[in-house]
Structure formats: C-alpha cells, structure tokens
Copies of this chain bind each other. A is one copy, B any other.
Amino acid sequence: MQVHIPLKKVVDNSYDITIDTLPKMNFDTKVAVVTNQTVSKLHLDYLLSKISAKELHVITLQDGEEYKNQVSIDAILESLFENRFNRKSMLIAFGGGVIGDMTGYAASIFQRGIDFIQIPTTLLSQVDASVGGKTGMNNKYGKNLVGAFHQPKAVYIDPYFLTTLPQREFSAGVAEIVKMAVTFNKEFFTFLESADLNNPKVLQEVIKQAVQTKASVVAEDEKEKGIRAALNYGHTFGHVIENETQYKKFLHGEAVAIGMVMANEMAVKMNLMSEKEALRVKSLLEKYNLPVSYVIEDVRKFYETFFLDKKSSDSAITFVLPLGIGDFVITDKIDNGTIMCVLNKFGKN
C-alpha cells in the first residue's frame, strides 16, 4: 500500500534589497546582531542606534575567514540558547561575507530555521555574498562544504560602511563585480573599464547593477541547478588557491581574480575568448591592484584539490569559461590534457 505526501505548493521567499542609508528597524521579538571585532569597533554603535527590539543581544566573533567554522557556529547557537531565543527571534548579520554566511547558516539550523537580515559592510558582501541565500561554513575539506540555502528576509546595503573599508578589501569586492560583468553583461563591463568608483554616485550605481545581475540569476535558479553556477567563474581555480594558501595569503576576491585569469587562459585555449578580451579583463583587475598571477608549487596536487571542491562531480571538473565578454559556458568536458596544460603555464618551472 502507498500513501502520497503532497507537498507541491507555492513558496514565497521573495525579499527586497535596499541600497541606501540604513533605515530604522523595529522588532517585537528578540534580536541578536552577529558581527566581528573589526566591524563592531567601527560601526556597532551606529547600527544599534537604528534598532529597537524586545531584547537586543550582540554576538561578536573574531574577524577572518579562518574563523568561518563549527566553533563560531557553536558560539552563535550557544548564545541564542543561553538567551532563550525562540522560533520567532531574528538574527542580523552585520559584517562581511564570513559573518553573513555563518549568521545565515546558524539561522537556518537554530530550531529548524529562524529569520535573518543581512547588513553587509564590505563591498564583496554587498554585491555578492549577501544576496541569494547561500549560507555555510568551511571545514578541513574546503570552503562552504557544510551549509544550507536560507534566504534572508531583507538586505540593507549602506555604502557608508565602505568609507572605512581597507583599499585591499574594496578591490576584492571589485573582483566579484568584474566576475558578474564578464559572464552576464558586456555593457556593464565596458562601463566598469572607465568608471570612477571614488565617485559615490557611480559606486552606488555599480553596486545596484551588480546586485541586479545577481538577483536575476538567483531568481531564475535559487538552488544552483543551472545558470547560477556561472557565478562560480574564477571560483573553481580560486578555491584551490585559497585552500593551498590556507585562506591566509589572499582575500577571497583576490583568489577569484587569479582564478578568472586562469579560467580565461583556458577559454583562450578553447577558442572561447580572444587573447585581447582576456587582456581587457586582466587590465581591469590590475586597475584595482588585484593579483593576476600565481605560482603553482605542485601542479599535480593543485589538480587533485579540484576534486575536493563541491562544485565538482566525482569524475569530472566543472569549469565556468567566458564566451567572449558578457556570456559564458559551463562545461565538464575539458580533457585532462588541456587542464594540465593550463595549470603548467602557472607551474613553478
């Protein structure tokens, strides 16, 4: 005998992203702001002045990708349980991508899921990480290998926070913007080549364009079964570079910048992109002092590490390669000879 469980229904996870001065926020529930020491020192007072809640708690984690792990997740959960948070309580992620991903993940598993809001403070998290509902943490096998899809209730992007962002981190955010332009929008790419991001109006416009690109991709493919994978352009290589350098030498966006250069090298080899187009991408990255070269110490080991990346299936590696500028192909049909040839180009000898 059989019993059918009908769970086909309309689910509405829609939300708004506001790119503007942070609004006043009122909650009739318990709220916990999750942040790190760096952001806390600079901006916590400002944030707290904007929030009223039934109870307001602050959970301050250490700053850095190396703390994006189970220990930090446990610290968040512990605080929620100690303060008797319940299913109606709310988390606010206040920081960069690391804080956003971990806060979202903690929100997704605390009592089987509670709401959270993203208030990203870095350019990278404003244009990319805070939008789309990917949450998670790293473990010894690699980045973001444990996590959940859990959409925020709202995202508040206040460019004011970028005024205190170190130049290097700002550039790392630009890398993700370049990524979206190269894969999805040629016009946006051309605009970026001559844009002056020191002009607040231009910066706000660029953030909006990037967020809109990301939003349309996520709306079409929330769970990354299709085109959302294109946002991994530069990431297949970038994740291995981060892994090899123990997440210490490069910021995420920097590793992605190098990864895009590597992917372009492969795209040129496959006749998907001209050398001139590859050079345009490289020049734009260099304009923001992003790293565009990397010496692979052990090519074989680099190759092996691809297979620990979750975006790879067991027998083949999936690459996102630009198709000129403004389009892309996703393929797992690159043969080992080509892969090794590209890697060797970056190899020690």
Contacts and interface: CB of A to CB of B under 8 A. Distances in A.
Contacts of A134: 112
Contacts of A313: 86-88
A149 interface: yes
B110 A146 contact: yes
A227 interface: no
B308 A84 contact: yes
A204 B1 contact: yes
Interface string A66-91: 00001000000100010010111000
B1 A16 contact: no
Nearest to A111: B310
Interface string A222-255: 1100000000000000000000000000000000
Interface string A1-39: 111111111111111111110000000001000000000
A7 B218 contact: yes
A215 interface: yes
Given A18-B2, A212-B3, A10 B9 contact: yes
Give the interface residue-count category, chain A: 35 or more
A86 B310 contact: yes
B108 A148 contact: yes
A307 interface: yes
A136 interface: yes
B3 A8 contact: no
Contacts of A6: 14, 219
Contacts of A223: 113
Nearest to A210: B3
Contacts of A87: 310, 313
Contacts of A308: 81, 84
Nearest to A133: B7
Contact of A147 (B5, B18, B109, B147): B109
A141 interface: yes
Interface in A178-230: 204, 208, 211-212, 215, 218-219, 222-223
A206 to B, nearest CB: 12
A151 interface: yes
A325 to B, nearest CB: 23
Interface string A307-337: 1101011100000000000000000000000
9 contacts: A1-B18, A3-B16, A3-B211, A4-B16, A10-B10, A88-B313, A109-B148, A111-B145, A112-B144
Interface of A: 1-20, 30, 70, 77, 81, 84, 86-88, 108-113, 131-132, 134-136, 139, 141, 144-149, 151, 204, 208, 211-212, 215, 218-219, 222-223, 307-308, 310, 312-314
